[in-house]
Amino acid sequence: VDPSTPPQTLSARSLEALAQYIQDGRAQKIVVMVGAGISTSAGIPDFRSPETGLYANLARLNLPYAEAVFDISYFRNNPEPFYTLAQELYPGKYRPTITHSFINLLHQKGLLLKLFTQNIDCLEREAGVPADKIVEAHGSFAKQSCIECKKSYPEERMQEAIHKKWVPHCLDLSCNGLVKPEIVFFGEQLPAAFFENRNLPSEADLAIVMGTSLSVQPFASLPSFCEDRTPRLLINSEQVGDLGGRRDDVLMLEDCDSGVRKLAEACGWLEELEALWAKT
Ligand code: APR
């Protein structure tokens, strides 16, 4: 990307320059960082969009404040709101978006160093991204355990609880603690995998940030771990974090699905991307 140009919202030139950078083979280790905004077109609400976001639509749970539904201390005393919501959040009934397929395309081209996701919908895996390429920074519904004794809880019993909206308790009757899917609540530690991989942005030769408000730490710091020489692309409805503050930042302030189509087209990959998504 032309070093003399100041950071700018997307112009045809900077998209073209970024596509040239990729076509020249200078992006071999791409780190992708995503949030709920890449799954909204699949039908899953994000958290903070004013009208449609989850936090704007929890009135029926009469929470003290919206994020309490994912707060571990609130959950310990009031698990019902989460279990009311869990049925809607539980993965399995949504199709990955073309943005998820774009990440898989990067992997198929051998260009994906690592995907960091805040999402718990598992759509990245369903789109074909291998598990060893994904860091689920806020956990996932893949496993569940007792929040007191940490004993794991069987999947089929969890599915029954979610389906029937009852609150599962630890199978060890002497414990009888609350069971919770291993999604990271406010007040809980992120998985070790996050901290083990947190330095990867400094090894990347391109960072792509999509569909996140970058409002929750420590995930929100990831883009700032990129070296100054690393171009950082933001595809998001709004400008977020420190994106746009560096010389080689490129901002596509628009819908993720249209942004990835434009980038794929500029790289000559659009047909391949559409075909890949059609198979998902
Ligand atoms: N295209 C582009 N951008 C979008 C789209 C879309 N289709 N839909 C939403 N966005 C943008 C929103 O404008 C916002 O900037 O995506 C961002 C979504 O932000 P949040 O709703 O805050 O979601 P996220 O960043 O993933 O939240 C982070 O907060 O509640 C916790 O643990 C939860 O992982 C979550 C974390």
The model's pLDDT over 64-112, given as tens digits with 9 standing for 90+, comes to 999 999 999 999 999 999 998 888 888 878 999 999 999 999 999 999 9
* Rounded distance between C-alpha atoms, residue 135 and residue 139, angstroms: 9
Q: How confident is the model at residue 12 (pLDDT cuts 50, 70, 90)?
A: low
Cα separation, 268 vs 123, in Å, equals: 25
Amino acid 3: pLDDT: 55
Confidence of residue 165 (pLDDT cuts 50, 70, 90): confident
Structure tokens at 254: 């628009």
pLDDT 10s digits, 231-272: 999 999 999 999 999 999 999 999 999 999 999 999 999 999
Which is the closest atom of ligand 1 to the Cα of 183?
32
* Cis upstream peptide for 218 (omega within 30°): yes
What's the pLDDT band for 4 if we cut at 50, 70, 90? low
Q: Note the pLDDT of residue 88.
A: 81
pLDDT in tens, 181-230: 999 999 999 999 999 999 999 999 999 999 999 999 999 999 999 999 99
Q: What angle do CA 9, 13, 16 make, to 5 degrees?
A: 110
Residue nearest to atom 36 of ligand 1 (CA): 216
The helix (run of H) or strand (run of E) holding residue 100 is helix 98-108
Residue with CA at minimum distance from ligand 1 atom 35: 118
238 C-alpha to ligand 1 centroid (Å): 10
Q: Which residues pair with 8 in a beta bridge?
A: 250
- Lowest pLDDT segment from 3-7, 37-41, 159-163: 3-7
First to last CA, the chain: 33
What pLDDT shows up at residue 2? 57
**Per residue in 133-162, pLDDT tens?**
999 999 988 899 999 999 999 999 999 998
State how far the Cα of 190 lies from the Cα of 209, in Å rounded to an integer.
Answer: 20
Ligand 1 centroid distance, CA of 213 (Å): 5
| Ligand 1 mean position, distance from CA 206 (Å) | 21
- CA-CA-CA-CA dihedral for 138, 142, 145, 147, to nearest 10: 20
The amino acid present at 280, given as its one-letter code, is T
Query: Residue 272's pLDDT is what?
Result: 98
Residue whose CA lies nearest to ligand 1 atom number 29: 216
Which residue among 67, 236, 252, 258 has the greatest number of ligand 1 atoms within 8 angstroms of its CB, and so is best to mutate?
A: 236
Amino acid residing at 210: M
Q: What is the mean pLDDT of the chain?
A: 93
Q: Rounded to the nearest whole angstrom, what is the distance from the C-alpha of residue 30 to the centroid of ligand 1?
A: 21
* CA–CA dist 105, 34 (Å, integer): 15
**pLDDT band at 8, cuts 50/70/90?**
very low
| Max CA distance (Å), the chain | 67
Measuring from atom 23 of ligand 1, which residue has the nearest CA?
Answer: 36
Tell me what ipTM this predicted complex has.
Answer: 0.99
Atom from ligand 1 closest to the CA of residue 235: 2
**What does the alpha-carbon distance between residue 70 and residue 81 come to, in Å, rounded to a whole number?**
9
Instruction: Give, using CA atoms, the residue closest to atom 34 of ligand 1.
Output: 118
Task: Tell me how far the alpha carbon of residue 38 lies from the centroid of ligand 1, in angstroms.
Answer: 8
Binding annotation for Zn(2+):
146, 149, 170, 175
| Rg value, the chain, Cα | 20
Residues with CB under 6 A from ligand 1: 35-37, 40-41, 46-49, 53, 70, 118, 138, 211-213, 215-216, 236-238, 240, 255-256
Quote the pLDDT of residue 13. 63
Residues with catalytic function:
138
Q: From residue 231, how far is each of 21, 166, 202, 227 by CA, in Å? A: 9, 48, 12, 9
Distance CA 174, CA 226 (A): 48
